[in-house]
Amino acid sequence: MSLEDPTSPEADPEPVGVTEDGLDYDALEDLLGDLAIGRESHINAEAFVVRPGDVEEALVTLRDEAGFDHCSCLTAQEYEDRFESIYHLRKYDEPTQEVGVVVPAARENPVSQSANGAFRTADWHEREAYDLVGVEYEDHPDLRRILLPETWQGHPLRQDYDQEQPQVVPLREHANPLKDDHRGIDNSDTMFLNIGPHHPATHGVLHLKAVLDGEVVADVDPDIGYLHRCEEQLCQQGNYRHQIMPYPDRWDYISAGILNEWCYARAAEDLADLEVPEYAQVLRTMSAEMCRIAAHMLAAGTFALDVYGDFTAIFMYAMQDREKMMNLLEDLTGQRLMFNYLRLGGVAWDLPEPREEFFEKTRDLLDDLPERLEEYHNLITSNEIFQMRCIDTGVLEPEAAKSYGATGPVARGSGIDYDLRRDDPYGYYPELDWDVITEDGCDNYARVLVRLQEVEESAKIIKQCVDLLEDWPEEERTIQSNVPRTLKPEPDTEIYRTVEAAKGELGIYIRSDGTSKPARFKIRSPCFSNLQTLPEMSEGEYIPDLIASLGSLDIVLGEVDR
Amino acid sequence: MSASLPTVTLQSGTPLPDSIRSLLGLPDGPVFEFIAAVIASSVIAAALLGLVAVSGIWGKRKITAAFTDRIAVNRHGPFGLLIIVADAVRLLSKELIVPDGVDRPAWDIAPIVMAGSALLGFAVIPMGNGLQIADPEVGLAYVFAVASIASVGLVMAGYSSNNKYSLLGGLRAVAQNLAYEIPLIITAASVVIFAGTLRMSGIVGAQAETLVSVAGIGIPSWYAFVNPFAFVLFMAANLAEVGRNPFDIPEAPTEIVAGWQTEYSSVYFVLCYLSEFIHIFLGGAIIATVFLGGPAGPVLPGVVWFVIKMVAVYLFTQWARSAVPRVRIDQLIEIGWKGMLVLSFANLVLTAVIVGLTV
């Protein structure tokens, strides 16, 4: 077995199972040999059933021999007779090549082996699965609750969970978790510092448990869950057709709403086999890129805020440019933040009348953009102090980034050429002319550069969409295909679909049970995985670098905690 | 316009307390001298507080807004000026929250020490039109001495607040002030070599001559023109001294919340805030006196010119605050000890050589 050589996943020149037409799952099954005890068919990929004790071995085999180096998500769920953990694997080089690893666990005592040895990102994902579903992972280094308080009774996504049950917590355990500040420890050279949950630089309610050695961060442990709103369960209670679509707006609520909506639209449309008219695809592409610009503007502005320290010029400039984008989106969708614009099989409505006015406004904005970006580059990226602060700080090596499942600008800032808009095409992206931006710096500076350049690329996309929309024949402007009033996908179909959201790979897993509501709705948040890299980036660096690194990750706690 | 400035109003030769004494017709004697000194100090302090109120509460909002493309206060009276009243009432009527376990006397005294030290410095600044409380022979040394007392206040505040962010801020403040006061003083010393005196009025007087005449307009021999290198060094070190970007790390709002002043609220916060602004103005006053000819300037009375120069330095700090990122603590120390200190000594030695050769 290749357990001895986990550092070079691409040692094998030709990964097993790759043919000219894509993946040969039979070859993968042969590769796993005795490890695979069964095979399931999901809409997005085949999945192999693996015994609870063989998880790590199976994942390492797939990673090293077959090149599945990206553990995108872990979904845990409960069936009548068993619990199940599904590891959704894919490749950074070729994300359309996917495979699932299904690990059943006993109904009474759900225990399965942890995947930590294969992918470091499994750490948090397994903690979440344990927290919400109650599957226990053996050999997990730190299997604590992650989203709910440590004193929580029961696992909320279990079928027998009683929502009415009062959470009775003894006073002793209810003690303020922030109170214990390690001051009593004698002979300690370090200082324990709570950064957050209320702190100017945590971008929301994030709590970092930091241990400082002087000004140097010796250890940092992000504590999340303060903004957990049971989004997965809320989505499981809504019907496919209309009731789920408003929720994605509330995950990454920093004006990235349509990007998130698209993820649900993509998953549900593939699940129910719905077509989307081409005209609607162009509208989706345009509006999604507008969201991306707005989100990246805020990211650049708040990152500058973290490095500059006050509400400085660059922050306000970025807010202004975001504001202009939001005005456009308001014209288009009627909303400034919670757009609720996409529908299954199309979009809610066509461009606002008069169309020329909308086109003109959009073009004006895009024409001004290069000048604005020039100013950003003058103000931040070419400032020597800014470079001093950001270059070679918060370093995230590509290998670590992959192991943590980092995606989006964070991965692209580490030189990983991975963008689902190009690699796993959807919408109208394949027809348009644009580039994927990567930077090899692996540091805070590279991540800022990636975001600023991506704004330019998004502007290119919007421009092309506007041209297309302007010339679109009036009789062919179909914004919505025929969709049954009540969607009831086939029972026991499973799908995992991802899109490139503002922060990275946003994924949704849906299992249907033949009703109009999903039986399991799992969200793969890019921020959740990206935030996991923070200790890797900031341990051994100074507090200001920790803050800068956190800012460069561009997390939104609404999406981390869901 | 020429450099033949109204030197009469520059240095009347009589300190403000004496003028007040003669104005009120008070006889000689220690008691009356003391009364006159108290009145003089009150006048100066009140004027300063007015300046801080306008620039700190209203001006700062307007200036920052101008830098960041906003409008800022415009609904409270003309140009939003009544915000000063509103803010004063708001700040003074807030509850003073004393956190658990603060080191009481030190925590209470710290804001006073900081505000007081900055105010003390103004005692020897010649502000023109006879507005100078005292003119000791060691004026410049005295200014730096009292201004550095503020560091003690910072440490007191940081250490006694029983808050780790305050502690970090306090320690950063000490490290920063150590690293930057030495270059600051050494650079000022190079001016002393030119002027040949530490007396503030003497330094101002030495800058009254015309340096060169260009097309009939005389350029005065302000030390900013005579030794621009020292001026730039001093401006940079002064930013660190008053703790503004890129050297605002003792407060560093996004890193350590508000540094040493995290736990201060209400009146104590006002004192902290006030002391910061007075400190900036003291920095401006020193720069105006040492490098910009003090109250010298055409047409307008000297004191107006002096205020203009002080406010110009204040604007400079606000500009830096809006546009320049903050350096990291280790980079700051490095710039201070490896860069500024070396440069300031080089400047001192060069100046000494040049002055020695030309005299």
Mean pLDDT of B2-28: 61
Residue B237 has pLDDT above 70, yes or no: yes
Q: Is the pLDDT of residue A52 over 50?
A: yes
Average confidence score pLDDT of chain A: 86
Q: What are the chain A neighbours of B63 within 8 Å (beta carbons)?
A: none
**pLDDT value of residue B8:** 38
Task: Give the total number of structural domains in chain B.
Answer: 1
The whole-number average pLDDT for the span B73-82 is 86
A207-213 and A191-195 strand pairing: antiparallel
Contact A201 B69 (CB under 8 A): no
Average pLDDT on A385-395 reads: 88
Q: Is residue B60 part of a domain?
A: no
Among B64, B67, B255, the strongest candidate for a mutation testing the A interface, having the largest count of A CBs within 10 A, is B255
CA-to-CA distance for B113 and B248, rounded, in angstroms? 20
In a domain, B344, yes or no: yes
Residue B2: which pLDDT band, with cuts at 50, 70 and 90? very low
Confidence at residue A289, expressed as pLDDT on a 0 to 100 scale: 92
What value of ipTM does the predicted structure carry? 0.78
Is residue A468 within 8 A of residue A486, CB to CB? The reply is no
Q: Which residue in the block uniquely carries the two structure tokens 């060094």?
A: B233
pLDDT tens-place string over residues A489-544: 888 888 999 999 889 899 999 999 888 889 899 999 999 999 999 998 888 888 88
DSSP state string for A213-281? ETTEEEEEEEE--TT---HHHHHHTS-TTTTSTTTGGGTSTTT-HHHHHHHHHHHHHHHHT----HHHH
Asked whether the beta carbons of residue A306 and residue B64 sit closer than 8 angstroms, the reply is: no
Percent of chain B with pLDDT over 90: 3
Closest CA to A268 of A502, A558, A44, A562: A44
Q: What is the mean pLDDT of residues A129-149?
A: 88
Which residue shows structure tokens 């546009």?
B323
Mean pLDDT to the nearest integer, B205-215 = 76
Tell if the CB–CB gap between B329 and A215 is shorter than 8 Å: yes
Cβ proximity of A301 and A379 under 8 Å: no
CB contact under 8 A, B70 and A191: no
Measured between beta carbons, which residues in chain B are less than 8 angstroms from residue A388?
A: 327-328, 331
Q: What percent of chain A has pLDDT over 70?
A: 94
Return the H-helix or E-strand segment holding A537. helix A534-538
Is the pLDDT at A363 greater than 80, yes or no?
yes
What span, in angstroms and rounded, lies between the C-alpha atoms of B126 and B124?
6
Taking Cα atoms as reference points, which of A310, A328, A402, A404 lies closest to residue A368? A328
Residue B319 placed within a domain: yes
Give the pair of three-digit tokens for residue B124: 């020897």
Q: What are the chain A neighbours of B257 within 8 Å (beta carbons)? A: 199-200
Which residues does chain B have within 8 Å of residue A384's beta carbon, measured at their own beta carbons? none
pLDDT confidence of residue A262: 92
Q: Which of A172-186, A513-527, B190-204, B326-340 has the lowest mean pLDDT?
A: A172-186
Q: What angle do CA B84, B86, B92 make, to 5 degrees?
A: 95
CA distance A83 to A93: 32
Nearest CB to A312; choose among B68, B249, B256:
B68
DSSP state of B132: -
DSSP of A343-356: ETTEES--PPSSHH
User: Does B43 map to a domain?
Assistant: no
Q: Does B325 touch chain A (CB under 8 A)?
A: yes
Judged by a CB distance cut-off of 8 A, whether residue B279 touches chain A is: no
pLDDT in tens, A191-219: 888 887 888 887 778 888 888 888 888 88
Contacts of A311 in chain B (CB under 8 A): 64, 68
Predicted local distance difference test score (pLDDT) of residue A175: 60
Cα dist. A531→A224, A474, A557, A560, B196 in Å? 10, 46, 10, 8, 61
Q: Is the pLDDT of residue A6 over 50?
A: no
Q: Is residue B50 part of a domain?
A: no
Dihedral sign for Cα atoms in the order B131, B135, B141, B145: negative
Domain assignment present for residue B67? The answer is no
Quick one: average pLDDT of A356-384? 89
Q: What DSSP string describes A281-304?
A: HHHHHHHHHHHHHHHHHHHHHHHH
Q: Mapping DSSP to helix (H, G, I), strand (E, B) and coil, where does residue B221 land?
A: coil
Q: What interhelical angle do A257-272 and A278-308 show, nearest 10?
A: 140
From chain A, the residues in CB contact with B244 under 8 A are: none
Q: Which tops the pLDDT comparison, A439 or A7?
A: A439
**Which residue in this structure is represented by tokens 């830096």?**
B320
Question: Which range marks the domain in which residue B336 is found?
Answer: 7-13+96-358
Query: In this complex, is the C-beta atom of B72 within 8 Å of any C-beta atom belonging to chain A?
Result: no
Interface test with B, best of A202, A215, A320, A382 (most B CBs within 10 A): A215
pLDDT in tens, A150-160: 888 888 888 88
pLDDT for position A180: 57
* Count of Cβ atoms closer than 10 Å to residue B70 Cβ: 14
Structure tokens at B245: 């970007």
Tell me which chain A residue has its CA closest to the CA of residue B61: A311
Identify whether B48 is part of a domain: no
Q: Is residue B57 part of a domain?
A: no
Distance from CA of B173 to the nearest CA of A (A): 13
Q: What pLDDT score was predicted for residue A172?
A: 67
Determine the distance in angstroms separating the CA of B162 from the nearest CA of chain A, rounded to an integer: 11
Domains and CATH numbers, chain A: 2-138 (3.30.460.80), 231-561 (1.10.645.10)
- pLDDT at position B7 is 40
- The H or E element that residue A212 is part of is strand A207-213
The closest CB to that of A547, out of B245, B255, B321, belongs to B255
